[in-house]
Amino acid sequence: MRIRHSLVGVGFVLSMIVAAPGQDLPTTTDHGITITADDLTTAIQQTQDFWGPVRKHLHSEECTIADMAKRKEAAAFLKQVHDNLHTRLFEMGDEVAMDLIDYVGKRLRMYEVYRKIRATIGDDTVTYTLVDSWGYEFRKLHLLAKEEQPAKIAELLGRMNEDMKAAGLDDAKIAAAAKLWIIQADVIQKMAATGAGQMMLDYERQGWALEKTAGDLLADISLAADWAQIANASTAEIGREDFVKAWASLKEFRDLRPTASQPVINR
């Protein structure tokens, strides 16, 4: 079962936060990346228009992703998570809303780092393969006890350098990207340390219990959603068309790199 990235996009979370009473959206800076209140409100509009149409697309006859039954199963799982987030937010008060804002800000920063990595590498096929593997490995290490995670992250960072070298990147690009992977590890760990982040990881652990093809489909839907964010500017509007394009891109990348390492878990 491969659950590489968070199964729920930021759009639903943001749309719920904007309805929470009495909360001001903060401006935060970390690793030289500032996420402003305007960034958060822009993301609200961006992503409110994303996941709803994507779920509708998964139910449509024109969608060619897997078969209809599997698509509906994936959409139902996503809706269950969305509904549970709604319940958690409105039953646990303003503190939970602020925690969600914190999580979302860190998630937006994660996308900014991924965009920097993409620009540094300058090859979308290589970037996709690395992002796919990186996200998958983080899903695995987050199943470990906290004290075991730093060593595994160090191993992963070393492996990313080896993978970049194997992909034919020059030394300058590898050195620049290596610094960004270190930053990304910190951003993701901080995101996971929030209450919302822990909740999302709990839902991802539930995904491991799903039948393999269902779990793989959820993983790929999540990856395509992430790629739609990475491949667009932070200020760009994204919607169903961007998801469809991202899905096609992932298929193209895999076809171009048929020998690329694809993470597999033995069940």
267 in a structural domain: no
Q: Contact, 30 vs 187, CB < 8 A?
A: yes
> Within the chain, where are the H helices?
10-17, 37-59, 68-91, 93-121, 124-141, 149-166, 171-193, 195-207, 212-230, 240-256
The three-state secondary structure class of 30 is strand
Tell me whether residue 1 is in a domain.
no
pLDDT in tens, the chain (267 residues): 333 344 444 444 444 445 444 457 899 999 999 999 999 888 767 766 788 899 999 999 999 898 899 999 888 888 877 776 666 656 676 788 888 889 889 999 999 999 999 999 999 999 999 999 999 899 889 989 999 999 999 999 999 999 999 999 999 999 999 999 999 999 999 999 998 899 889 888 877 777 888 888 888 999 999 999 999 988 888 899 999 999 999 988 987 764 444 443 332
Domain, as residue range, for 206 = 10-256
How many whole angstroms from its chain centre is CA 88? Answer: 21
The answer to the question of residue 261 being in a domain is: no
Candidates 217, 224, 134, 122; CA nearest to 168 is: 122
Largest Cα separation within the chain, whole Å, is 52
Classify residue 266: in a domain, yes or no.
no
Within a domain: 264: no
Domain annotation covers residue 4: no
CA of residue 113 relative to chain centroid, distance: 12
Query: Running DSSP on this structure, what letter comes out for residue 231?
Result: T
Confirm if 122 and 173 have CB atoms less than 8 A apart.
Answer: yes
Q: Residue written as tokens 């996709």?
A: 128
CA distances from 92 to 96, 104, 179, 193 (A): 6, 18, 38, 18
pLDDT (tens digit per residue) in 146-188: 999 999 999 999 999 999 999 999 999 999 999 999 999 999 9
**Structural domains counted in the chain:** 1
Token pair of 243, please? 């998801």
* Alpha-carbon torsion (154, 155, 159, 161), positive or negative: positive
Residue 265 resides in a domain: no
The answer to whether position 2 is within a domain reads no
d(CA 222, CA 235): 20
